[in-house]
Amino acid sequence: MSHILLQIIIVPPIASLFILLTRHLIGRKAGWIAGFSLLYSTALLIMACVRVYHGEIIVEEYPFIDSAITFGLLGDGLSLPVALIINGLCTALAFYAIHYIDHRIEAIYGDVDERTYLNHYTRFYSMFLGFPMGFMGVCLVKNLIAMYFFLEVLPIPLYFIMATFGYVDRVRVAMICLMWAVIGAAFFLAGFLMAYSQIGSFNIADMNALAGNPMTFWIIFVLLIAILIKMAAVPFHVWMPWVHAEHPTCIAGLLAVYANIAAYVLVRVIVFPLPADFKAFSIPLMVLALITMVYGSFLTMGQTDVKRFAACSTISQLAYSLLGISALTIASIEGGMFFFLGHIMGKTILFSTAGILVYTTGTRDMREMGGLAQKMPITTALWIMGAMMLSGFPPMSSFPAEWVMFTGIFKTGVQTMPIGLMVAIFGAGAIILTVAYTFRSVKIIFFGPLNPDLANDKIKDPPLTMSIPLLMIAAVSIILGVCPKLALNLFNYVIAGIPIP
């Protein structure tokens, strides 16, 4: 099939435009149209992954402004598995949102006439499809400016969906989110322009020409600030709890991707072309990652709001990928990327299940829940699977990911004793905080006697359109956990080529 990568990027915006233009004709079918358009692009991604698995690299070039400036796309072992999982999550959440967004419109705008309702409903989906476009763009482009463009496309649907369908403090938090995105963008732009000033090219493949350049340290430094802001590393994490907590939960899973995509950018733009220059940042970043892991875990443990709980855990979890990548070994980078995929799947399940809980019980306070396992067994199973994915229990994909990642981290640790080894040991030990807070939340929300206020028939598992997509994500995680080769072999095509100093 030709133009496969281009199709993957442009199918969502075409579907978005279609929904926008025909909103009164298609009405409530908008969710299904969005879902099926994403299913199509997921199928394309699977086809592309199969080709790459057999050793092919997919490259597409399209003229942009003139023949000198082209819009290039690259499908390799690093970009495609990441794109596939992210697109899969977008697809699942498109179906999940069919019921959920119905509930949000009713909660925010009350009993409105059909036309107004459809306006809201279709607006959500036409904006929602901006996410897959942005994510696919970031994953597949070959050019720094195109990457910047897609990175900055992402805050737009985020901003509008947040302000239109979010929770109580939605407009203020939408503004906070946008401002942080702009600050991060400014650093990205500065870094990219600094690189351009040295090598005269925006091509990511040309970045290795910066190796050994005295300016490279500062270029990496500036880009790292942008990446750390996006990844919500301490002390740039402060936007994360707000933004994740106030968003409609149907996109909160994508917010984890929004933050995590920076890990991909880190590998693609910095680590892959400039490993020797990045080495200077290795230990400081590992220490920062450890601090973020521990701080994020304590922050999560202190939460009582079920949405904030999931949000704060993202801060901690993102730092694992950062730790792996900054350890700068083949195993730790591959494991870090694999962990990133495991985390976004786990977090999507956890956030979306939090949405189900809020949707069903009408409260966000975990302490007001309790005993829900009796009434909502499928939701309980989903939450426990999310907890297992975050905590790295087999058979979830995060188990082999964690193992591979920490093998690399310990390699660096032993080589950089004593600091490196201490970071590695405490990093592995810090996972217990994840186990503690995730399974403690299971106890608080689902176990124990049922809260008498919730002893009514309204408290039950959600409709299948909400639970099946999440169960599918869990199934993908289990498949990758049982057959980690599927992801690791693909990553290895690219990451094994990094000349680790």
Contacts with another protein in 371-430 (CB under 8 A)? 371, 373-374, 388, 393-394, 399-400, 403-404, 406-411, 414, 417, 421, 424-425, 428-429
Where does this chain touch another protein (CB under 8 A) — which range of 20-28, 103-111, 217-225, 236-244? Answer: 236-244
The full DSSP string for 131-154 is: HHHHHHHHHHB-BHHHHHHHHHHT
Q: Which is nearer to another protein, 96 or 148 (CB)?
A: 148
203 binds another protein (CB under 8 A): no
Minimum CB separation of residue 241 from another protein in Å reads 8
Closer residue to another protein (CB): 148 or 281: 148
Q: Do residues 282 and 305 lie in contact, with contact meaning Cβ atoms separated by under 8 Å? A: no
46 contacts another protein (rule: CB under 8 A): no
Which residue's CB is nearer to another protein, number 24 or number 443? 443
The tokens for 353 are 């299940």
Q: Which residues contact 36 (CB under 8 A, 6 or more apart)?
A: none
Single-letter residue type at 197? S
- Name which of 389, 404, 252 is nearest 324 in CA terms: 404
3-state secondary structure of 451: coil
C-beta separation of 246 from 296 below 8 A: no
Please state the closest distance from residue 476 (CB atom) to another protein, in A: 18
Distances (CA, A) of 191 to 194, 230, 231, 294, 376: 5, 15, 17, 29, 49
Pick the piece of the chain touching another protein (CB under 8 A) from 22-30, 32-40, 130-138, 439-447.
Answer: 439-447
175 makes contact with another protein (CB under 8 A):
yes
62: phi > 0 → left, psi -120 to 50 → alpha, else beta; which?
beta
Q: Which residue number, 299 or 474, has a Cβ lying nearer to another protein?
A: 299
Judged by CB under 8 A, does residue 488 bind another protein? yes
Nearer to another protein, 109 or 149 (CB): 149
Following CA atoms 161, 166, 172, 174 in sequence, which dihedral angle do they give, to the nearest 10 degrees? -30
Total residues at interface with another protein (CB under 8 A) = 76
Angle formed by the axes of helices 4-21 and 114-128, nearest 10°:
170
Task: Show the binding pattern over residues 1-40: x = contacts another protein (CB under 8 A), - = does not.
Answer: ----------------------------------------
Q: What are phi and psi of 62, to 5 degrees?
A: -130, 135
475 binds another protein (CB under 8 A): no
- Tokens read off for 229: 């802001």
**Within positions 92 to 111, which residues make up the interface with another protein, using CB under 8 A?**
none
Cβ-based nearer residue to another protein, 282 or 303: 303
Taking CB under 8 A as the rule, does residue 185 contact another protein? Answer: yes
Contact in structure between 213 and 198 (CB atoms under 8 Å): yes
Question: Does 338 engage in binding with another protein (CB under 8 A)?
Answer: no
What end-to-end distance do the CA atoms of the chain give, in Å?
39
Per CB under 8 A, which of residues 114..133 are in contact with another protein? none
Q: Could you say which of 238, 419, 464, 475 contacts another protein (CB under 8 A)?
A: 238
**Cβ closest to another protein, residue 394 vs residue 499:** 394
Q: Does the protein bind another protein through residue 291 (CB under 8 A)?
A: no
Write out the binding residues for another protein, residues 309-328 only, by CB under 8 A.
312
Rounded to whole angstroms, the Cα distance separating 270 from 274 reads 5
> Quick check: 242 binds another protein (CB under 8 A)?
yes
Nearest distance from residue 389's CB to another protein, in Å? 13
Question: Does 357 interact with another protein (rule: CB under 8 A)?
Answer: no
Here the tokens at position 180 are: 């942080």
CB of 91 to another protein, least distance (A): 27
- The phi, psi pair for 383, rounded to 5°, reads -65, -40
**464 counts as binding another protein under rule CB under 8 A:** no
53 makes contact with another protein (CB under 8 A): no
Q: Which stretch binds another protein (CB under 8 A): 18-26, 106-114, 166-174, 462-470?
A: 166-174
**CA 201-204-209 angle, 5° bins:** 65
